[in-house]
Amino acid sequence: MMMTEILDGRALSHKIRQQLKQRTARLRERGIVPALAVILVGTDSASQIYVRNKHRAAAEVGLATHDFKLPETTTEEELLALIAKLNVDPSIHGILVQLPLPPQIDSAKITAEIDPSKDVDGFHPLNVGQLFLNNPQSLPCTPHGIMRLLAEHQIDVAGKHAVVVGRSNIVGRPIAALLLNADATVTVTHSKTANLRELTRQADILIVAIGRAEFIKAADVKPGVVVVDVGMNRNAAGKLVGDVDFTEVEPIAEAITPVPGGVGPMTIALLLEQTVKFAER
Ligand code: NDP
């Protein structure tokens, strides 16, 4: 019987962070303290947890983080003024604005104001354009992490049929672009796709990022598929599960990411790596 390969994001993320420790140490020898500015507006509890985790992971690899916790009532002008200041501050190498922002602030406008060369999230329109022109400068961390996880496991995507479920700006669209850049044949699906499950069954590589607990079942995939599950959902029992029914799909897949421990840890590792890259430049 075929053994399914588990695409272990925790292990690879650990490896990347070990390498980053050495790189930050070399930077510090040159008198450069790589630094990430993290802006959090309001009191969204999930965002607070993400920000806390980012701080911890950054400190572990020798990256400095500068916290900017702004009140829920912050105006767009106030946030733009802070970004303008950080853009020209040579001691700051990366700027991250934790989303979602409160409704009085237009997040697209904020994203576009961040200096593209400090845009660790890769959300600035210039960086998005560079990705689509196959000349990426700064990549969104989650799709970047997925590509690294596939590469680590010697999964070559060239010539394969990759089906992406979901078309968000932070996962679906950029992972589709990265797969296309890597010579996959890419199908992008979404909530209006008529024959979704017919398409997922054709996938050699299936990337699922929709936010629906255990949506993809064994009948929706072909044997030998490589499955990347981006979803993070709580099921009825309160357990963290992906968009893929792992118990059903794992036995027939060639390789699959677990949830948790797959894509999640990679996202944060790539955020740290991008900050270090910016500091090295
Ligand atoms: P969004 O809500 O921004 O986008 C969801 C996408 O899925 C949309 O394109 C939507 O289609 C599509 N979709 C929703 N329901 C269906 C359906 N029934 N059939 C087909 N397509 C559907 O989500 P994100 O991309 O931000 O996140 C997706 C999941 O990934 C979430 O669970 C999130 O928590 C997780 N996530 C995990 C990360 C990690 O580091 N592990 C990082 C980022 C996200 P349409 O465009 O038509 O509305």
Per-residue pLDDT tens digits of the chain, which is 281 residues long: 579 999 999 999 999 999 999 999 999 999 999 999 999 999 988 888 888 989 999 999 999 999 999 999 999 999 999 999 999 999 999 999 999 999 999 999 999 999 999 999 999 999 999 999 999 999 999 999 999 999 999 999 999 999 999 999 999 999 999 999 999 999 999 999 999 999 999 999 999 999 999 999 999 999 999 999 999 999 999 999 999 999 999 999 999 999 999 999 999 999 999 999 999 99
Q: Which of 119, 121, 204, 243 is catalytic?
A: 121
- Look at the block and give the residue holding tokens 């190498």: 93
- The yes-or-no answer on residue 121 being catalytic is yes
Give the right CATH number for 31-117 from 3.40.50.10860, 3.30.70.20, 3.40.50.720, 3.10.50.30.
3.40.50.10860
Angle at the Cα of 174 from the Cα atoms of 135 and 192, rounded to 5 degrees: 140
Instruction: Give distance in angstroms: CA of 63 to centre of ligand 1.
Output: 30
CA of 210 relative to ligand 1 center, distance in Å: 3
Of 169, 221, 204, 217, the closest CA to residue 190 belongs to 169
CB 163 within 8 A of CB 196: no
Q: What is the dihedral of CA 192, 194, 196, 198, to 10 degrees?
A: -170
Q: Which atom of ligand 1 is nearest to the CA of 263?
A: 41
Which of 139, 115, 143 has its CA nearest to residue 128? 139
- CA torsion angle for 144, 30, 95, 74 (degrees, to 10)? 160
Whether 118 is catalytic: no
Domain ranges of the chain: 31-117, 140-264
Give yes or no for a contact between 28 and 59, defined as CB atoms under 8 angstroms apart.
no
Ligand 1 atom 17: residue of nearest CA:
191
CA Rg, the chain, in Å?
Answer: 19
* Catalytic status, residue 54: yes
Residue with CA nearest ligand 1 atom 30? 231
Judge: domain 140-264, CATH 3.40.50.720.
Answer: yes
Cβ atoms 65, 54 nearer than 8 A: yes
Annotated binding site for NADP(+), which residues? 166-168
Best residue for ligand 1 mutational test, from 199, 230, 267 (most atoms within 8 Å of Cβ): 230
Nearest CA owner, ligand 1 atom 35 = 231
Do the strands 240-241 and 233-234 form a parallel or antiparallel pair, or are they unpaired?
antiparallel
CA distance 165 to 187: 9
Can 31-117 and 140-264 be said to share one CATH topology? Answer: yes
pTM, two decimals, is 0.97
Tokens 């797959």: give the residue.
262
The closest-lying atom of ligand 1 relative to the alpha carbon of residue 233 is 32
Q: Are 82 and 68 in contact (CB under 8 A)?
A: yes
Q: How far is the CA of 150 from the centre of ligand 1 (A)?
A: 20
Cα(108)–Cα(110) distance, integer angstroms:
5
